Amino acid sequence: MEIYFLGTNAGVPTLQRNVTSVALRLLEERRSFWMFDCGEGTQHQVLRSPLRLGKLEKLFITHLHGDHLFGLPGLLSSRGYQGGTGPLTVYGPPGLKAYLDISLSVSQSRIPYAIEIVEHSGGLIFEDDSFKVEAGLLEHRIDSYGYRVTEKDSPGNLNTELLQSYGLKPGPLYGLLKKGQDVTTEEGVLIRAAEVVNAPKRGRIITVLGDTRPCKGTLPLALDADLIIHEATFGHDLKDMAYQYHHSTAVQAAELAREAGGRELLLTHFSSRYTSQEELLPLLMEAQAIFPQTLLAEEFCTFPVYRRSPGNPQGNDPGK
């Protein structure tokens, strides 16, 4: 599971950074990726990335400001030309369907795959056997939502050495044991699943927050998350401006990550006044002084999502 940034700028694109879009790559879990926000030019960014639109399965819009939305009609249209034949679901606030209906109908765009548009007002918006996604209202000039993606716990690995000592070779009984069912060998030996299956693997939690100033809605979404993606539009010297424009500073993002007990924080959605990664270093230092496990998002860079090791909430499981 990896995070891959396609755009990290706020408001308008610059020569150095595109407007907001981030991909969650579910490589082993689903062989697909999910996208959060789709600012203008996102499909151009995809062309320069290892992503393929045909593998896009779900797309989540945090709010309906243009720097998070204007790339969506073009991307949906292009997906059909790039091998995208499977269904796609787009989630977002009320008004999303009207925007897409008008954009695609007026342009007579042909969408050669099933597309479902799900408008929501928060709460549980998706769940299957592997994941659930919850949305929560934030505080911005218009309704803006954060998303909490929870990977469900998976069964622990089998103790194969112990099984072989019972004379049990790999086969269908291994699958039953991993599902928690006791089995009996051909020799009549009862093997209890609880004795040969290791502890379940804790699912990872990823929080992606839309534009917001500090508010009570962020904490439930970020609580105990393995990775928090939070806007840091301004340095803390501009905290009054951040509040006026309904945005956050790097310090405020770090304060949330610390309060939530997060494992890692990624800062994104930077003001155009910061023209390079070097000019963003003061924001990083401000945040790291409060929450050391902070990194700056950077376009076309991959950030693995690690699960916490048992008994070591800040540590990484080498197996991710």
**Residues classed as catalytic:** 67
Dihedral sign, Cα of residue 144, residue 32, residue 21, residue 78: negative
- Measured between alpha carbons, how far is 189 from 191 in angstroms, rounded to an integer? 6
Can you say whether residue 121 is alpha, beta or left, with left for phi > 0 and alpha for psi between -120 and 50 degrees? alpha
DSSP structure class, residue 10: S
For residue 87, the SS3 value is coil
Radius of gyration of the chain (CA): 22
- Give strand ranges (E) for the chain: 2-7, 21-26, 32-36, 56-60, 88-92, 115-119, 123-127, 131-137, 145-151, 183-184, 190-191, 205-208, 227-231, 265-268, 294-296, 302-304, 308-309, 312-316
Instruction: Please state the length of the chain.
Output: 320
Residues 6+ apart with CB under 8 A from 59: 34, 35, 36, 38, 72, 88, 89, 90, 91
Q: Which tokens sit at 104?
A: 């695609």
